[in-house]
Amino acid sequence: MNAPYFESFSLGVYLTLAVVIGFFFGFFLERAGFSSARKLTGQFYFRDWSVLKVMFTAIVTAMLGLGYLSALGWIDMSLVYIPPTYVWPQLLGGLLLGTGFIMGGYCPGTSVVAAVVGRLDALFFLAGIVAGGVVFGLLYPAVEEFYVSGSLGTLTLPEWLDLNVGIVILAVVAMAVGAFWVAEKSEGEWDLFAKTYGKSTGEGNE
């Protein structure tokens, strides 16, 4: 989504804000430990739920902020750009992104953060992203029809579910609370297993 006030900014101000926001986004990703492929892939093995916690927190914070500011009339949601939905290419893209995430240990954003702090594996990952983009560009004429297939236009959850925005917000918040609870329980069970396994094999004994 693009900020709804961008038309009132000059290009220089807009680019400066983009750099500042990007810097802090990367800074907080690194502080959350997301420059480590081991930490990121821990999510897929259900032993470290940091990715879910941080990303779900960001989603809920943005959702509540937009919801309240819109209700107060401070933000005109009609000016917020929402990418259109193309079901089949986005499903395939999500599958490929998830597969690459598991295999490489990074997503596009975290790979940049990891590369900046000097992780060589992230540099190879970034090279793969660039190469994939070039290949897609070259093949685009052949896949253009699929690229726009399953078009649903600009679709939001309240529109898709035919529910009031407030009800959807409440449901997502409840889902987040439940996910955080499950994550804490899972991490607790994993820690107990790790301690028990370590003792049984003699690991950690001096």
| DSSP for 1-24, written as a single string | ---TTGGGS-HHHHHHHHHHHHHH
Q: What pLDDT is stored for residue 48 in this prediction?
A: 85
In this structure, is residue 190 part of a structural domain? Answer: no
Distances (CA, A) of 63 to 26, 70, 76, 132: 20, 10, 14, 32
Q: Do 180 and 119 fall within a single domain? A: no
In this structure, is residue 194 part of a structural domain? Answer: no
Q: Do 113 and 148 fall within a single domain? A: yes
Tell me which of 90 and 196 has the higher pLDDT.
90
Domain count, the chain: 2
In this structure, is residue 200 part of a structural domain? Answer: no
What integer is the mean pLDDT of 142-153?
Answer: 93
- Residues 2-44 have pLDDT tens digits of 555 566 677 788 889 889 989 999 998 898 889 999 888 888 8
In this structure, is residue 97 part of a structural domain? Answer: yes
Check: CB of residue 76 under 8 Å from CB of residue 4.
yes
In this structure, is residue 13 part of a structural domain? Answer: yes
What integer is the mean pLDDT of 170-174?
Answer: 93
In this structure, is residue 120 part of a structural domain? Answer: yes
Q: Do 106 and 8 fall within a single domain? A: no
Q: Do 94 and 122 fall within a single domain? A: yes
In this structure, is residue 65 part of a structural domain? Answer: yes
Q: Do 30 and 106 fall within a single domain? A: no
Q: Do 73 and 103 fall within a single domain? A: no
pTM, entire model: 0.74
Q: Do 70 and 111 fall within a single domain? A: no
Residue 91 belongs to what domain range?
Answer: 85-155
In this structure, is residue 125 part of a structural domain? Answer: yes
Mean confidence (pLDDT) of the chain: 85
Q: What pLDDT is stored for residue 198 in this prediction?
A: 60
Q: Do 9 and 77 fall within a single domain? A: yes
User: Residue 119 pLDDT > 50, yes or no?
Assistant: yes
Which of 87, 85, 69 is CA-nearest to residue 77?
A: 69
Q: What pLDDT is stored for residue 200 in this prediction?
A: 45
